[in-house]
Structure 1
Amino acid sequence: MRSTADSQVLIVGAGPGGLLLACELALAGVTCTVLERRTTPSVQSRATGLQPRTLELLAMRGLVGDFLKAGSPRDHYRVTVGRARVGLTHLDTAYQQLGICRQSVTEGILEDRARSLGVHVERGVQVLDVRQSLDSVVVRVSRDGRTEELRVPWVVGFDGVRSTVRETAGIGFPGKTYPYNVMAGDVRLARTPEDGMLVKVSREGLVVAIDFGDGTWRMGAVDRRPPRPMDEPATLEELRDMLTRIFGYDLHPYDATYTARFKFHNRHATEYRRGRILIGGDAAHTHAPLGAQGLNISCQDAVNLGWKLASVIRHGAPEALLDTYERERRPIATRVLRATDRGMHMLMSPALPLRAIRRAVVPTVTTLPVTHRLLAGQISNLAFSYPPARPDRHAKLVGQRLPDTPVRHEDGSLRPLFDLFRSGRFVLLDQTDGQFEPVHEQWPDQVLTARVRLEGPPHVAAHDLVLSRPDGYCAWAGSRRDTEGLRAALREWCGPRAVPAAA
């Protein structure tokens, strides 16, 4: 048996979620290895849209500039049902856009970041199964034609819909597969659609059309015919036929750099953690890609899990902290699965009553200010929050996302709040000029204290002290007199006392 004593966590899958989790763990000082069955990095575009909340998380780690430089922004979604249009420019964020960035580029940026932090990414390794004991997980792998066994303390599967980690750990994945024919391609078009971020709906099916900004379009087509065999070649001619039937005219696609055949599923894992094995991303939940949610939910899973697993490994936090990963992330995935399932049913149904409802409801929802704001908040992921385990009427901010409000530092400079999150630690915003008992000093490696003045929204600035989690959600807020409340929050999230970090 081969020992992997230098890796505290083994991550299966070098997609965006797995790589971002590796970055988070390495930033916190956890040694980890990423195993990927592909022998070379993917060149496929696959998932393409980075939602505003994901861009915020990347900004907290100083990475967002790389993605914005490599991508093409779209500030709305257009749906060809009446005048339906969901705009993002009113959102309370600096990133009022869907960042269009090919998944191959996303993975490249994240892999470079992971390697710079000391993560070992090993390709050409297929995980065959996992089994665990009280204090470790044995992972059986195939590499170079040989079967080996690796022993590690923790395993996380970000290995997709057909997750080996999930299946061999005995975690269920109930749900359904949609009975539609689905194709996608990256092509040039002789005749382009009327909008660069378009959902085209017709009696024949639907097309999601995305302009990459370089003359290439992603065309994802879903029609009502039975699905073709997955091993049947996905040809440009077949995609052209699907597009023509749905649009009602020929777009003349050519120069295809990528074509693929898919099945759409709606499935949710029965649990996200079984002992020392955890799962995230498509291994935990999968849905139809309406609204560009899958990649983003996966990345947000990774950031939520990363600091918690690091706290357990490096700082002695109780393993019960890991149970909050599923408690917080499952309701969000459930909401997304339900919404995309309703969307597929509404947009794909040929039934006359549903078609009539579609024509009436979709434009109304997207034009009324209240429902438009709600829809944009959900699509952008900015409306997601984590209800506290023990609700406190005096701290309504707890569990809410903190906006990137300007903060004035002791030297008089005004800088974005997110700049304080580069180290991946908790951030204690102190507006008391240091006039409170420094209870946070019991957790020196986990909490960054910033003596600042918040220039941002009143619901944040009204508190003397605001403790933020490493993922930018409020862990506690209160007055300078409530030192016991702050201490209790730190014990809850960081462990009962300071534990020297492992070498």
Structure 2
Amino acid sequence: MDPVIIVGAGPVGLTLALALARHEVPSVVLDEGPGKDEPRPARTVVLREDTAGLSARITGVPLDTAGMRWAGWRSLRRKQVMREITFEADEPAPLHVAQHVLTGALRQALAGEPLVRVVPDSRVDAVEQEVSGVTVHTRGPRGTWWRGSHLVGCDGPRSTVRKLVDIRFPGRTAVERHAVAALRTELPWPGEALLHRTPPWRTSGPSAGEVIARPLPDGVWRLDWLLPPGKDLVTPDLLVSRIRETLSGWTGSATPTYDLLDTGVHTVHHRLARRWRVGRVFVAGDAAHLLGALGTQGLDEGLRDADNLAWKLALAWHHGQHEALLDSYQAERRAAVAARLRAADQALPLVRGGGGLRSYVPGSARGHDALLVEGHLGLGALGGPGTYAHSPLAPGPLEAEVPVGTAPGAPVADVRVTAEDGSFVRLRDRLGRGALLVVLVAPGTVVWERKHWVTAGVMPRLAAAVTALPHPAELLVAESYPGAAAHTVLLVRPDGHLVTALSGVRPADLYAAAEAALGGPAPARTTEGTGAAAGSAS
């Protein structure tokens, strides 16, 4: 069978290729660029707990060494500390990393992956599809026709794939603009991220009304200054003046020594593609959505797109086209991103409105700060990972279903579990392997060797039920799970979202929930082969 064609070699496209390889699906990555990334210290990304874990699993690289885990978060308004958070060593904290470093780690992981072929200098200019697959033409030195089972456009905001399949991309332009500088210096809050609203110096006009500092390794910081609406030119002199006054204001003395490494202007747009699937063609990442106001991060959502799509494409590639399962990618991911955009659009007038009655309402400043904290720290409607509560893959009412601390459709908590070989692992470490996860909550098992409890109590019956499921599943045991009683059984999708929680071992309910999570009854197997080499050109 033909490989999946991925257009775009940014973090989303490379992550998708690696995720597909973990499912034993070959892919060809068509890279418009030369196959390497220019170092840009001012172009960085913030990954939340789930996306940082996904990147670490995919690359095999502990990204904590490549980026900076925030030691804390500090919000100031004028001279007043509004919020101060310290992240303990065992607490999840946002991970700040230069985008070229992340992409480099992904490329390094791909270098040893035989199922992925990256083709540089390949710009797509034509897409054709029929019932059995897609054909893509590239121009340039390596111009040729490529044949694939499916096509995923991960080629950014100006996506050629999106345009070639006639997908509209409506939204808002220049929702926010930021002047950006990456510099090496010492600040009074080592390792902490800082949001300073209405700093007291404000000598450079209204554009100095908000500044964000995010730490990177080796004493490097990324600073962002919110710019006023419009297209005012950010000159080098203005930016240097902004840097000097900001550093002086924070240190309370003359401008400390600093080394300016990179600068830029970051413009935030809010757009959402009308469709995310057209036949065998999909869009993901910035090709499908743009967001980023109020501290939210677009790459987080792009990586979640890749995680959601990979296991569904893998099932279709191995077992035949399953329309309901593939349609669920758009239904789930578009709804999650749309909810994030709605939350940002509703919060923007409150946070950015300024003046008027709101400036005199007691507590309004703290309310605005709480919204910004959500966006920056990956919490709540602005920043938290989306849930798929209304997914077409959600099972119908189940007699044995019980509530736990995680709502159906939400990402599971990363508890410690015992694997089938008796080893202790984190639950999220078992994701991305293509299997469903069945987790039994069994207090007390942690103090006994596996051989003593694996054949006792409900385990034999549960193991038999797991073996009978319509898709491979891994049975895990947890000492506890938030909000779950003893003998609760959790069913988890390959991308870590909870399908259901059942009270005890209920084989019929477990089977029904698993079948629903896979899109319904499996399609008839096709007679097509599954061993075609990745990257074959027609």
Is TM more than 0.5 here?
A: yes
8 Å CA contact retained: 2:195, 2:212: yes
SS of 1:170's equivalent? coil
> Which residue does the alignment assign to 1:217?
221
Pick one of 458, 461, 472 that aligns with 1:447: 472
State the 1:274 CA deviation: 1.3
> Which residue does the alignment assign to 1:167?
163
> Which residue does the alignment assign to 2:103?
107
Q: Which amino acid aligns with 1:454?
A: A
- 2:494 counterpart of 1:484: no
8 Å CA contact retained: 1:27, 1:117: no
TM-score when scaled to structure 1? 0.83
Pick one of 425, 428, 440 that aligns with 1:418: 428
TM-score when scaled to structure 2? 0.78
> Which residue does the alignment assign to 1:240?
240
CA distance in 2: counterparts of 1:104 and 1:413, whole angstroms: 35
**Per-residue Cα deviation, 1:440-472 (whole angstroms, up to 9, x for no partner):** 44568x52332x432122534545532211111
Go from structure 1 to structure 2 and tell me whether the alpha carbon gap of 1:147 and 1:453 turns closer, same or farther (over 3 Å shift): closer
CA distance in 1: counterparts of 2:86 and 2:129, whole angstroms: 45
Go from structure 1 to structure 2 and tell me whether the alpha carbon gap of 1:460 and 1:222 turns closer, same or farther (over 3 Å shift): same
> Which residue does the alignment assign to 1:25?
20
CA distance in 1: counterparts of 2:240 and 2:210, whole angstroms: 13
Go from structure 1 to structure 2 and tell me whether the alpha carbon gap of 1:176 and 1:50 turns closer, same or farther (over 3 Å shift): same
8 Å CA contact retained: 2:176, 2:293: no
- 2:366 counterpart of 1:363: yes
Pick one of 295, 300, 303 that aligns with 2:304: 300
> Which residue does the alignment assign to 1:276?
280
CA distance in 1: counterparts of 2:170 and 2:383, whole angstroms: 27
> Which residue does the alignment assign to 2:415?
405
8 Å CA contact retained: 1:280, 1:302: yes
State the 1:356 CA deviation: 4.6
- 2:397 counterpart of 1:392: yes
Go from structure 1 to structure 2 and tell me whether the alpha carbon gap of 1:114 and 1:224 turns closer, same or farther (over 3 Å shift): same
8 Å CA contact retained: 2:210, 2:225: yes
**Per-residue Cα deviation, 1:370-423 (whole angstroms, up to 9, x for no partner):** x99x98345663574544534537244532322121224577654322343363
Q: Which moved more, 1:153-162 or 1:244-253?
A: 244-253
Go from structure 1 to structure 2 and tell me whether the alpha carbon gap of 1:181 and 1:329 turns closer, same or farther (over 3 Å shift): closer
State the 1:437 CA deviation: 7.4
> Which residue does the alignment assign to 2:535?
none
State the 1:10 CA deviation: 0.9
Q: Which moved more, 1:235-244 or 1:170-179?
A: 235-244
Go from structure 1 to structure 2 and tell me whether the alpha carbon gap of 1:414 and 1:240 turns closer, same or farther (over 3 Å shift): same
Pick one of 30, 37, 44 that aligns with 2:32: 37
1:69-88 to structure 2, matched below 5 A, reads: 69-81=65-77, 82-85=80-83, 87=85
SS of 1:484's equivalent? helix
1:224-373 to structure 2, matched below 5 A, reads: 224=228, 226-228=230-232, 236-243=236-243, 255-316=259-320, 318-356=322-360, 360-364=363-367
8 Å CA contact retained: 1:179, 1:224: no
Go from structure 1 to structure 2 and tell me whether the alpha carbon gap of 1:89 and 1:390 turns closer, same or farther (over 3 Å shift): same
**Per-residue Cα deviation, 1:283-333 (whole angstroms, up to 9, x for no partner):** 111123532421111111110111011111112361211121122222221
CA distance in 1: counterparts of 2:313 and 2:489, whole angstroms: 26
Q: Which amino acid aligns with 1:25?
A: L
> Which residue does the alignment assign to 2:447?
none
Go from structure 1 to structure 2 and tell me whether the alpha carbon gap of 1:292 and 1:390 turns closer, same or farther (over 3 Å shift): same
> Which residue does the alignment assign to 2:451?
none
8 Å CA contact retained: 1:209, 1:219: yes
> Which residue does the alignment assign to 1:435?
461
- 2:521 counterpart of 1:496: yes
CA distance in 1: counterparts of 2:460 and 2:58, whole angstroms: 28
CA distance in 2: counterparts of 1:213 and 1:114, whole angstroms: 24
State the 1:84 CA deviation: 3.0
- 2:47 counterpart of 1:47: no
Q: Which amino acid aligns with 1:406?
A: R
- 2:64 counterpart of 1:68: yes
State the 1:130 CA deviation: 2.7
State the 1:156 CA deviation: 0.7
CA distance in 1: counterparts of 2:462 and 2:215, whole angstroms: 53
- 2:212 counterpart of 1:184: no
CA distance in 1: counterparts of 2:245 and 2:99, whole angstroms: 28
8 Å CA contact retained: 2:438, 2:473: yes
State the 1:499 CA deviation: 5.3
Pick one of 433, 457, 479 that aligns with 2:481: 457
Report the number of matched residues. Answer: 486
Q: Which amino acid aligns with 1:435?
A: R
Q: Which moved more, 1:284-293 or 1:104-113?
A: 284-293
SS of 2:25's equivalent? coil
CA distance in 2: counterparts of 1:168 and 1:365, whole angstroms: 41
SS of 1:80's equivalent? strand
8 Å CA contact retained: 2:296, 2:378: no
State the 1:193 CA deviation: 7.6
Q: Which amino acid aligns with 1:363?
A: R
**Per-residue Cα deviation, 1:420-445 (whole angstroms, up to 9, x for no partner):** 3363422223563121473544568x
- 2:130 counterpart of 1:126: no
